[in-house]
């Protein structure tokens, strides 16, 4: 189908409508008059116009022109019979033929044969509907026969084909000329115009960035206070602890003192622990004894979590800690090993400028409601499900 803008489609539809208005009253070409272009118009509308509404529009226009011709123009109403309704499937056949060609081919010389075949199919169906409908159902023919109908087809159909080819041929010629002109025009655009386009694009970008800067600056100006933050890193995706350890590195870069308390995890061979234990401003506690499927002892897990929280409470009361990371601390809350009200109270009463980061899946709603920042990491794809082991530097 031709790749036409809506504006160009409207222009083509108007040109086709004007052509129908100027030619509708004469079936065949003569010295003084152009032949009726209706058949070609419906075929071309199927090619150039994407919407189906023009089909009904052109049919309504053709009916109105016929009505006006015999009502005010003195034209005979011989063709206005009950068989007039057969023009709808006749014209639709032409439109569908054009539509089929446009759907499967581009308007080029290489597709001349499919264009010809689709035109022949549309013309044949149109003649059968329009000519056959009038001959057998108009009531104007006293005695009908298939033989006589065949004679009528052989007499008039070639002239309809000639008219159709005349208008479609003119359209092809105009299409080729316009395409060549458009290609030459696009190559002839001077560099000055391109520079103007680039300049306008740069100016629009500058204006957008200025507006964006005003919005961001206003938001920064509204954030006029400092306080210790409670951050929750939760969700089923990888990266919760990794994100927290990245913030530890950031804090150490500012000379801050950091405390780390790892719940659940019982191993001490991870890369983060090996690195951060060497830093002077880091205090590191491993408070867990391993994952629950390893310990397999509910009472001991509960007691371990409570002993661990006693250590955390001391850090939360110590203003010398600027940042505390409670790694995997959502699990003792989720499993009920720690009282959520007690934990929230301890967090609330910590020093005003102390930051706390809590990681782990399934963070309780009460904890998220109390937090200043909550990030949920989604699991889209994970190497472990493909049979790949946990890797040093990535997972450990």
Q: In three state form, how does the secondary structure of the chain look? A: CCCCCHHHHHHHHHHHHHHHHHHCCCCCCCCCCCCCCHHHHHHHHHHHCCCCHHHHHHHHHHHHHHHHHHHHCCCCCCCCCHHHHHHHHHHHHHHHHHHHHHHHCCCCHHHHHHHHHHHHHHHHHHHHHHHHHHHHHCCCCCCCCHHHHHHHHHHHHHHHHHHHHHHHHHHHHHHHHHHHHHHHHHHCCCHHHHHHHHHHHHHHHHHHHHHHHHHHHHHHHHCCCCCCCEEEEECCCCCHHHHHHHHHHHHHHCCCCEEEEECCCCCCCCHHHHHHCCCCCEEEEECCCCCHHHHCCHHHHHHHHHHHHHHHHHHHCCCCCCEEEEECCHHHHHCCCCCHHHHHHHHHCCCCCCEEEEECCCCCHHHHHHCCEEEECCCCCCHHHHCCCCCCCCCC
Given a cut of 70, is residue 359 above it in pLDDT?
yes
Work out the average pLDDT over 62-85.
Answer: 83
User: Would you state the pLDDT for residue 205?
Assistant: 85
Of 17-26, 87-96, 322-331, 339-348, the poorest mean pLDDT is in: 17-26
Q: Is the model more confident about 383 or about 251?
A: 251
pLDDT band at 281 (very low <50, low <70, confident <90, very high): very high
pLDDT of residue 107: 74
Fold of 230-386: Rossmann fold (3.40.50)
pLDDT: is 219 or 332 the higher one?
Answer: 332
Mean pLDDT on 343-368: 95
Q: What's the mean per-residue pLDDT of the chain? A: 86
Top-confidence residue, 393 or 315: 315
Task: Determine the pLDDT at residue 218.
Answer: 86
pLDDT digits (tens, 9 = 90+) for 17-71: 999 988 886 644 443 345 788 999 999 999 999 888 888 999 999 899 888 888 8
Question: Does residue 232 register a pLDDT over 80?
Answer: yes
Q: Mean pLDDT throughout 225-234?
A: 93
pTM over 0.75: no
């Amino acid at each position: 189908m031709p790749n036409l803008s809506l504006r160009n489609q409207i222009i083509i539809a108007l040109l086709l409508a004007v052509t129908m208005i100027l030619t509708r009253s004469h079936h065949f070409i003569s010295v003084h008059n152009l032949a009726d272009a209706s058949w070609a118009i419906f075929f071309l509308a199927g090619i150039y116009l994407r919407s189906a509404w023009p089909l009904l529009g052109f049919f309504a226009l053709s009916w109105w022109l016929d009505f006006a011709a015999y009502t005010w123009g003195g034209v005979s109403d011989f063709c206005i019979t009950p068989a007039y309704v057969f023009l709808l499937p006749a014209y639709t056949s032409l439109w569908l033929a054009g539509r089929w060609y446009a759907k499967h081919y581009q308007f080029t010389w290489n597709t001349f044969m499919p264009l010809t075949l689709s035109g022949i199919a549309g013309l044949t169906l149109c003649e059968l509907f329009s000519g056959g409908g009038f001959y057998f159902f108009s009531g104007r023919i006293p005695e009908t026969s298939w033989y006589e109908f065949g004679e009528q087809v052989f007499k008039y159909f070639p002239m309809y084909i000639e008219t159709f080819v005349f208008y479609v041929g003119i359209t092809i010629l105009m299409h080729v000329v316009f395409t060549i002109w458009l290609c030459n025009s696009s190559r002839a655009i001077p560099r000055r115009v391109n520079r103007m386009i680039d300049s306008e694009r740069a100016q629009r970008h500058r204006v957008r960035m200025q507006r964006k800067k005003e919005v961001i600056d206003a938001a920064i100006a509204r954030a006029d206070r400092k306080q210790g933050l409670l951050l929750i890193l939760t969700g089923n995706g990888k990266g919760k602890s990794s994100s927290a350890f990245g913030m530890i590195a950031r804090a150490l870069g500012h000379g801050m003192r950091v405390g780390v308390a790892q719940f659940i995890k019982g191993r001490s061979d991870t890369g983060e622990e090996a690195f951060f234990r060497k830093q002077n401003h880091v205090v590191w506690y491993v408070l867990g004894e391993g994952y629950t499927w390893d310990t397999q002892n509910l009472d001991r897990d509960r007691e371990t979590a409570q002993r661990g929280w006693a250590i955390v409470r001391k850090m939360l009361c110590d203003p010398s800690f600027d940042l505390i990371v409670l790694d995997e601390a959502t699990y003792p809350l989720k499993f009920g090993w720690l009282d959520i009200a007690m934990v929230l109270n301890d967090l609330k009463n910590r020093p005003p400028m102390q930051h706390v980061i809590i990681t782990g899946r399934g963070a309780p709603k009460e904890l998220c409601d109390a937090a200043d920042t909550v990030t949920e990491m989604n699991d889209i794809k994970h190497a472990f499900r493909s049979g790949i082991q946990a890797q040093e530097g990535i997972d450990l």
